[in-house]
Amino acid sequence: MGDTRRCCRGTWGFGAFIPMNKKASSPSDLEVQSVGPCSFFRKVRRKKVTKGPHGLLHHQRNTNKACLQLDPVKHLQLDTLDGRSICLALNMRAPNETEHVVQEFLLAGIPGLQAHQNLLFIAFLLVYLGVMVGNLLILYLVFLDRRLHTPMYFFLCNLAFLDILITTTIFPKMFAVILLEDRIISFYGCFLQMYLILAVGSTENLILIVMAYDRYVAIMKPLHYHLIINGKLCVFLTVGAWVLGYLAPFVPLVDAILLSYCGPNNIEYCYCDYPTVVSLACADVTNIINTAFIFAMSVINIPLVLIIVSYLKIILNVYFMNPEDCRKAFSTCSTHLIVVLTYYFSLDLLYITFMIGNISADNRIIIGVIIYLLTPLLNPIIYSLRNKQIKQAAKKYLDLSLRTNIFAINSFRADVD
């Protein structure tokens, strides 16, 4: 019956062949063959629903299963054997029999670059350390320098903290997969990672909107800036972004975690990606994946449109200023837009290519690295470290820290001598 995998331990059923162009309208349409334990079959690429008196035949696009639903208890899993027929296997589990439930998942890592895993580990580690140093430096300088206690840097600190959180959620485990080949992640650990990725990503989208609004008011209404962007509004917008960001993925996550996972547990990715994990469920998840896709596109593209509109208005406004101010504003806005567009378009590409299914796992991993590693590396450079006030604060406090450390070392040596 082709290439199969164990789905449910200790369960038995029957197999059948049915032509792809026929409906399962009667038992005579099925050529029944006995099979061993209920098997889980390979990928079904077409999406098609055939209705007959004996149930609905679901072909799930880009998932590892499909299902013929006969009644609330019995389901048929299937796979294409060739261009003309499909193979079905019915789970005939007894009422008192315990279904095998996945307790852990296996992360594939980066299969296409296994031969270069040491080089890959070093490259990712250096970038990860760059993310940590750059964003922690922003938090450190803003905390010490009272001149940086402004709304803009308050929002930048939130962005820096989110960048640290998202990279730390993904990459330590990825390093373990690449270097130590520790591919195992627990069931709930996987869903916790998935939730944090979705929640932090949603929160960052909202923080970027808030930052764009802050710059819009600062340039378009400079005389009223401190009246509009006051301390209470800053706290309200920031708390609102965090609360909404962490609540937004809650319903899709609950839908995913309540599914039955009884089949293969290999995640063809380097972290617990929502659609990749959900596609492993032993059920028809087409509606769940489609709903999650619509939700993701809304969370990604509504903020993107608002940010683009705000920056375009800023650019049009500064166009009529003196040439020097226009050049500075255009340079700042264009740089910000490049980073924002790279981040959002990469997110769009990540979800769209999964739905279309015409991209390899390695290419999707590259897109994920751009989103969750390169963007957090660029954010502190683009938004903060190019800023004159940040440079002055860095020179002041880093030089002071260096002199203090040198003085402490010299004092220690003098005491030893």
- 72 with 112, same domain? no
In eight-state DSSP terms, residue 385 is I
**C-alpha–C-alpha distance, residues 26 and 351, integer Å:** 39
Each residue's pLDDT tens digit in the chain (417 positions)? 333 333 333 333 333 334 444 444 444 444 333 333 333 333 333 333 333 333 334 333 333 344 443 433 334 444 443 443 344 444 444 444 444 578 888 888 777 666 777 888 898 899 999 999 999 999 998 898 888 888 988 999 999 999 999 999 998 888 888 888 888 999 999 999 999 999 999 999 999 999 999 988 988 888 888 899 998 999 999 999 999 999 999 988 998 988 888 877 888 878 888 888 888 888 888 888 888 889 889 989 999 999 989 888 887 887 777 667 677 677 667 777 888 888 888 888 888 887 877 677 777 778 888 888 888 888 888 877 667 778 788 777 777 665 565 545 555 455 555
**332 falls within a domain:** yes
Q: Which residue has the tokens 């764009």?
A: 212
pLDDT of residue 96: 41
Which pLDDT belongs to residue 191?
Answer: 93
Q: Are residues 47 and 146 in the same domain?
A: no
- Structure confidence at residue 372 (pLDDT): 86
User: Distance between CA 15 and CA 17 in Å, rounded?
Assistant: 7
Q: In this structure, are 185 and 38 located in the same domain?
A: no
Domain that holds residue 42: 5-90
Q: How far is Cα 381 from Cα 337, in angstroms, rounded to an integer?
A: 14
Q: Could you tell me if 131 and 210 lie in one domain?
A: yes
Report yes or no: 279 and 259 within 8 Å, Cβ to Cβ: no
In a domain, 201, yes or no: yes
> What's the domain count of the chain?
2
- 277/141 same-domain check: yes
d(CA 88, CA 409) in angstroms, rounded, equals 74
Q: Is residue 257 included in any domain, yes or no?
A: yes
130 and 79: one domain?
no
Q: Do residue 227 and residue 191 come from a single domain?
A: yes
| CA 149/CA 154 separation, integer angstroms | 7
This prediction's pTM: 0.71
pLDDT given at position 121 = 86
- Which class for 2: exposed (0-12), middle (13-18), buried (19 or more C-beta within 10 A)? exposed
CB 63 within 8 A of CB 78: no
Residue 378 has a pLDDT of 86
Residue where one domain finishes, among candidates 90, 125, 145: 90
pLDDT score at 364:
78
Tell me, yes or no, whether 15 and 116 share the same domain: no
- Do 85 and 180 fall into the same domain? no
Chain CA centroid to CA 174, Å: 14
Q: CATH number of the domain that 300 lies in?
A: 1.20.1070.10
Query: What phi, psi does 396 have (nearest 5°)?
Result: -70, -55
Same-domain check for residues 72 and 155: no
Q: Does 399 reside within a domain? A: no
My answer on whether 191 and 301 are in the same domain is yes
- The DSSP code sequence of 100-145 is P---EEEE---GGGGGGHHHHHHHHHHHHHHHHHHHHHHHHHHHH-
Query: What's the confidence (pLDDT) of residue 32?
Result: 35
Last residue of a domain, one of 90, 124, 154: 90
Q: Distance (Å, rounded) from C-alpha 110 to C-alpha 175?
A: 11
Residue 404: predicted pLDDT: 60
Considering only CA atoms, which of 271, 283, 281, 297 is closest in space to residue 355?
A: 297
Host H or E run for residue 204: helix 187-220
Contact 234, 243 (CB under 8 A): no
Q: Which residues pair with 31 in a beta bridge?
A: 17
Q: Is residue 410 part of a domain?
A: no
d(CA 18, CA 32): 9
* SS percent in the chain: helix, strand, coil, step 5: 65, 15, 25
Tokens of 249: 């993925």
Name the nearest CA neighbour of 128 among 83, 94, 91, 173.
Answer: 173
Residues 25 and 144 placed together within one structural domain of the fold: no
Identify whether 31 is part of a domain.
yes
Residue 200, judged by CB atoms within 10 A of its CB (0-12, 13-18, 19+), counts as buried
Is the distance from CB of 74 to CB of 90 less than 8 angstroms? yes
